[in-house]
Structure formats: C-alpha cells, structure tokens
Structure 1
Amino acid sequence: MLTSNGYVLDERRLSELAAVPDLERTDLPVLRERLQRDGYLLLRGLLDPQDVLDFREYYFNLTGTATDRASYRQALFEQIVPGPEYAAFCARLKGWFEWFLGGEPFLHRRKIIRQTAPGENGIGTATQAHYDLLYLRGGSDQVLSAWIPLGDCPVSRGGLTYLERSHHRVLAEEAAGTLKRPAASITADLPALAEQYDANWLVTDYAAGDVVIHTAHTVHAALDNVSDVMRLSTDIRYQRAEDPIDTRWQAHWNDRDGL
C-alpha cells in the first residue's frame, strides 16, 4: 500500500515509471522527443553510485551530530548547502545538460536537499502535487529539473511519483489561461488528482546513481516514507544560460526563503 501525505493511492491508478532504454540514451533527437512526449526522462545510473553514496555519507556525518533543530539547520544551511562538496556534486550533471540543451547550461543556485524520516505521514510531510513552473515564474519556462535520490530509494522509502503525461494538460491550460492554481502546490490528495486528470501515478524503485529529468510543466509529488531508512534526495535545475533566468532562485536555498 502506497501513501502520500496519508492519502492511500489507488492501485488501479498506478503504473511503472519507464526508464530510457540504453539504445536511446545517446540519441539526442530521440531523447528530446521522449521528454516532450512523456514529460520526464528516467536515466538509470547516470551518476556514479559511489559518488552518490559518498555525498550521502558526507551529509549524515555533518547532520548526524545535530542534537536539536537549530544545530541541524546550522549544519544544513551554513555548511552543506553553500559548501564546495554540494556544488561539486551538482556540477557532475553540467556536461550532460550542455549536451542535451545544445548550449551553455546554467545551474540555478537555489538547490534543495530533502530528508524524510521513516514513519512521517499526514498532510504536510511529503511534497504535494505540483509542477515547477508554479515556483519559477520569473524566467524561462524551459527550465529542466533533475531529481536525484541520494542513495537507494525503493517506493517504500518515499521517492518521487509523476502524474502520467500531465504536462500536456498543464501546457494547454497554461496557454489558454484557464489553469486556476495557487502559486504553490496543487493538492495533497493524489488519488483525487489522478481521477481529475484521468491518469495514473508513475512509480518505481530508484537506485543510487539514477536521475530523473522532468519539465517545468510535469506534475509530480513524493510518496510517504514507510520504510525504516532515512530518505534523502536533492532537486536541482538547469536551463540554457542565454534564456531568461528567475533572479529569485539565485541565492542558496533556505527553508525560510519564502520560495
């Protein structure tokens, strides 16, 4: 049984998140067409798994000694987020984005690390359904997000789930000006949203080294962590450097930055 924010996902509205086949991974036109069609690219083993596990260890070495919320926030926002180790880790995708975008890539400075403890559930504990353009109105709508599980992340650990081909409906309603959404999450009720969109939630077991690239219009959310292991992930955003850039996203991430 899978849940998100305490809502039980209907098994009839679940499908598998499909990985890009090996034969397509170096075919740029096919890869771009696939992203346009599906709204996401699941790239197994795009990063070296050891690099991912090393960063996970670095993170917990710094935060594991925190005895209270204040010391945890200090380690996260004053050491890890602005630190050279995190910058170097995120820069490992620069070459891929340069190839895929066909030009100089730009990495948004606001990069987010998400930690979810086992057993956390109820509204407000998992990332609610949204698409990234809700938060990135000040620049290009061609921003691509990379979601990176920092360690193995089976569905029981609370990985990302994507609403099947939802970007087509979002794009159409954005263009028509009929999409009435808050400037934040759409909803925590994933089962109801699947019915509204007449679409399935796509899920899979992620492994260290996997990366999911998704468009700014693709609806996604997180599952609850019902395992006994801490779920850790990061999401970062690249775009072409020559396109308009949302200036609000050019400071290091802080959970009180209002974005």
Structure 2
Amino acid sequence: MTIDIDGPIQVNDGPLKPSEYAQLVPSDPAAVPMEELRRRLKDDGYLYLKGLLPREDVLAARRAYFSYLEPSGVLKPGSDPVDGIFDASKDVTEFPGIGVGRLEDMAPQAQEFVSRALSAHAQPWYAQDLCKHPVLLEFMARFTGWGTERTLPLERTLLRNNIPQAKAIGVHYDQIFLRYGEPTSVTVWVPMGDVDLRGGGLIYLEGGHILGKQFEDEFTTKAKASGLSDEEAKSAFNRNMLSSGVLTDGPAAFGREHGRRWLVTGYEAGDVVLHTTYMIHASTINNDKNHVIRLATDLRFVDSSRPWDEVGS
C-alpha cells in the first residue's frame, strides 16, 4: 500500500522511496475486542490505538510544556504555546536535543533550553497528569493482564521535542536500553499533539520485532560461545551500538539492507502506539510546513512481579 503525500518522507540518510514505506494500521480501542488487540501487538510488534487518551488532557500537557520552554526563545514570538511553533528565524543548532553534549559546553540559550527540557520530566503536569493518566493505567492493567497491583510504569521516561530540520531518532529497539530485565516490557509512545505525516513522528519497521529478536539471539549465542558471562555479554552488546545506543542513524539504508518497508502515519493528540521491546523503530525528519515542533514521550510498563530493569528505571 502506498501513501500520497505532499513531498517526500525524509529520514537521517535521505528520502524514503514510495516503495519503501506503507501505512501504519490503526486500531480502535473502543471497538476491537481486547483479545484481538493483544493478538495484533504479538503478531505485528506494534498496536496503534486511535484516541485512547482524552485529547484535551494531552493538549493541556502540551500547553504546559511549551509554556515552560518559552523563556528559552524556542517559540515563534506571539504564538500560542499549545501550537508549539518554532521560531524559524533562529538556527536549529541553538536548541540541541537532550544528550547531545555537556550542558556546561553549550551557549547560554542552549543551556536554558536543554535544562528546561530535562526538568520538564519532573513537573506534575507531565510526571503525574500525563504519565500516570488513569485512562492509560487502567487500559494497560487490563491489556497486559497484569492487573492494577502488578502493572508498574517506570519512572524513567523519554520526553522529547523534535524541532523542524533537527536530526531524527536513529534505528533501535527498546531492549537495548532495558537489558538488565526480562524482555517483557511494553512501551507506550504518546504523541503530545497532532503530528503531520511529515512532522517527525515514529516509524516502525515492518516485521521489526522479529528482526530485533533475531539480532539479540544471534549476539547472545556468539557471546556465550566465546565464554562471556551474562553480565559480560550485556556490556559487550552495548559496546556494539553507536554512542547514542542505536543500531544505526540511517533508516533508509537499514530498510533496504533488510528488505523491509517502514510503516508511517500522521498522529493526533490522544493517539498512542504500544510496541514490544524488540520492535525496531526510528523517526522521520520533522518537515512540518508550519514549523510545528513535534513533542512526544516514551512510557514503559513492566510486570512488577517479574525481574525488570531497575538499573535503567
């Protein structure tokens, strides 16, 4: 299936050809039986749920976030913070992403931007109101079958802004970051606002959960055959990643190498995507024509009765 869009879908290593992407398939959580939703996650590696969260609650968190970042100068003067419009008169490099360098080495404006982006994780409108939204907690407890007592949202979350034309997220799967626990965690990706098809949203590799598990199994087999302990194998695997923890920065070449398409879509506030810990994903370059900053977060859930990655929590 091909998708008609106004312009190419760009990733870090260039545009994706129309034959190299297809539509991410949505599911209606109010209409599809729970057993079928579970089957879709298991078979496809992802579950794209339309309108699971109240739109107004997601937009309230978005407004609070950009109001919090506004003193850094990132927003277009006079614009409404909830719109998250980037001040396109400024250089994108003035507003670096979290983890791209040491804070003390940055210019004052960049320092304020990154400091506020980091401290936003602890603000109640995010850490409590969004991350622990009762609709999400109740759904995850039922969907996983873990129940309210065992369904644990990890405190470590990944709240990311994606400024137009900035470098996108590279190719990875989440077990890379949660290797000190069983591979049973579920990630919930929450777009905090509408995201245009070309606006920097997540993309998923078709059958990527199978390939991710294959990568992990092959490396584990080689590591054990060489005499490494489990702990040594975890460390060795991590050293084989790029410094950012990803498999590669280039989704286009990666998809071609493995003969798989990328699954893409536009998102609306209230949508969420669940994916398994081995599901390979990345993001596109934000080419939103209105200079909208993409804002989203990764929330991860584990079964507290089983071993989970407390090191990375």
Note if 1:39 corresponds to 2:85: no
Farther-moved stretch of structure 1 (177-186 vs 196-205): 177-186
Note if 1:193 corresponds to 2:254: yes
Q: Among residues 115, 127, 131, which one is paired with 1:87 in the alignment?
A: 127
Q: Hey, what's the Cα distance between the residues in 1 that align with 2:208 and 2:294?
A: 26
Q: 1:154 to 1:7 in 2, by over 3 A?
A: same
Between the aligned residues of both structures, percent identity stands at: 31
Q: 1:24 to 1:32 in 2, by over 3 A?
A: farther
Partner of 2:102: none
In 2, are the aligned partners of 1:35 and 1:41 still within 8 Å (CA)?
yes
Note if 1:140 corresponds to 2:203: no
Equivalences for residues 27-176 of structure 1 within 5 A:
27-67=33-73, 68-78=109-119, 80-88=120-128, 89-92=130-133, 93-103=136-146, 104-120=150-166, 125-176=167-218
Q: Number of residues paired by the alignment?
A: 244
3-state SS of 1:226 partner: coil
How far 1:29 moved relative to its partner? 2.1
Q: 1:23 to 1:62 in 2, by over 3 A?
A: closer
Q: 1:232 to 1:66 in 2, by over 3 A?
A: same
Higher-Rg structure is 2
Q: Hey, what's the Cα distance between the residues in 1 that align with 2:214 and 2:180?
A: 20
How far 1:138 moved relative to its partner? 0.6
3-state SS of 2:71 partner: coil
Letter in 2 for 1:230: I
In 2, are the aligned partners of 1:152 and 1:208 still within 8 Å (CA)?
yes
More contact order relative to length (CA 8 Å, sep ≥ 6): 1
3-state SS of 1:8 partner: strand
Letter in 2 for 1:5: N
Equivalences for residues 220-259 of structure 1 within 5 A:
220-227=281-288, 228-250=291-313
Q: 1:97 to 1:22 in 2, by over 3 A?
A: closer
Q: Hey, what's the Cα distance between the residues in 2 that align with 1:22 and 1:126?
A: 29
Partner of 1:218: 279
3-state SS of 1:246 partner: coil
How far 1:23 moved relative to its partner? 6.9
Unaligned stretches of 5+ residues in structure 2:
1-7, 74-108, 223-236
Q: Hey, what's the Cα distance between the residues in 2 that align with 1:170 and 1:63?
A: 36
How far 1:72 moved relative to its partner? 2.2
Unaligned stretches of 5+ residues in structure 1:
251-259
TM-score normalised by the chain length of structure 1: 0.88
